[in-house]
Amino acid sequence: MPRLTNLDDVLFPVAVYPVFVSLPHRDGVRPLRVPDKKAIVNGSNSRVLGVVSSTYRLVTNREALDLGFQCCRTVFPETRPSEWEVNATDAPSTGGHCAIDLKHNSTALDFSFVPATERPDVFGPFIRVTNSYNGLRALRFDIGFYRKVCKNGMILPESIIQFKFNHLRRDLRETITFDVASNRLTKAKESFGECLRTLTGCSIGRGDLVPLMMAVLQIKSIRPPEPDRQDVLEWMALETHLHEITDRYADDLGENAYALFNTITEFASHPPVNMHLHRDRHSLQRLAGQWLSNFSQQCRHPDFDLHEYLGTINIEPQQRAVQL
């Protein structure tokens, strides 16, 4: 399914309407209003985006974006509003929910507190704004890091700062406050930098990069019964893509876990359209963050064995019944 990747595509007008059910009646059909439900409707095409409870607090994507810029100014008071820009937008074609990334465009928030010889790379922060019209996702503001080279692979570490508000009137007030301890972000940066330095010192052979990447992102291989099937052709294209980017980073950064990290984050930030990928960009990036936190701890153990570790996260290939 095509996705909405332009900001204007998710800033459509929305409206709230009452919900009715049609009941059989001797004179035909009688509409009956559902008192505790309401419908959120796309004002540009009259498509129903979600049916929610009467206590649902509507926040438009435009409002969520404005709150995102407010979050940037609050969490990073040393920055100027003009230094933040929309870097990426991602939403399903239905527009039921979306994620908007705000990126800091100067070097003021880089790892300047770390000596130049020890900096992990050129990284900066971003804030992801998540909003929904179907009640399935909370209004959320996640702080992550992105690499300012190549394709700017983004990552959402598990331990980083997050603000989350359920779409309920009791949780979402008219005014939202973003409150964070002044040293918390510095500690998060230090922890992130330590993780990346650990990855650089962990050797991974070129032949293990693709299997590890597939396991981390939960990409299941298939056992093809026939070479000319469409699903097999798509799998071959995906596998070729995986090998191309792992080889590129292994050449640039060496055969180590840091090359794997960059491969994973680039792929997660720019997943190809392929029938064997069933997760969106946000889900893939969260998997990358979870892996970084876990692997950077595991590989520090003196008895760490890469192939034994791979066995703990490996997933079985898909078994498919093929219809001719």
Per-residue model confidence (pLDDT) at position 92 = 92
In a structure prediction context, what are the per-residue pLDDT tens digits for the chain, which is 324 residues long? 678 999 999 999 999 999 998 888 777 778 889 999 999 999 999 999 999 998 899 999 999 999 999 998 888 888 888 889 998 899 999 999 999 999 887 655 555 544 445 444 567 778 999 999 988 899 999 888 877 665 556 676 665 677 888 888 777 777 777 877 667 777 777 777 788 788 888 999 999 999 999 999 999 876 655 566 778 888 889 999 999 999 999 998 899 998 998 899 889 888 888 888 888 888 888 888 888 888 888 888 888 888 888 878 754 444 333 322
CA distance 204 to 212: 10
**How many C-beta neighbours within 10 Å does residue 13 have?**
10
DSSP string, 43-90: TTT--EEEEEETTB----HHHHHHHHHHHHHHH-TTS-GGGEEEEEEE
pTM: 0.77
Per-residue model confidence (pLDDT) at position 238 = 93
Q: Which residue's entry shows tokens 């491969």?
A: 263
Residue 321: what residue type? A
Q: Domains of the chain: which residue ranges?
A: 3-21+32-53, 61-181, 201-313
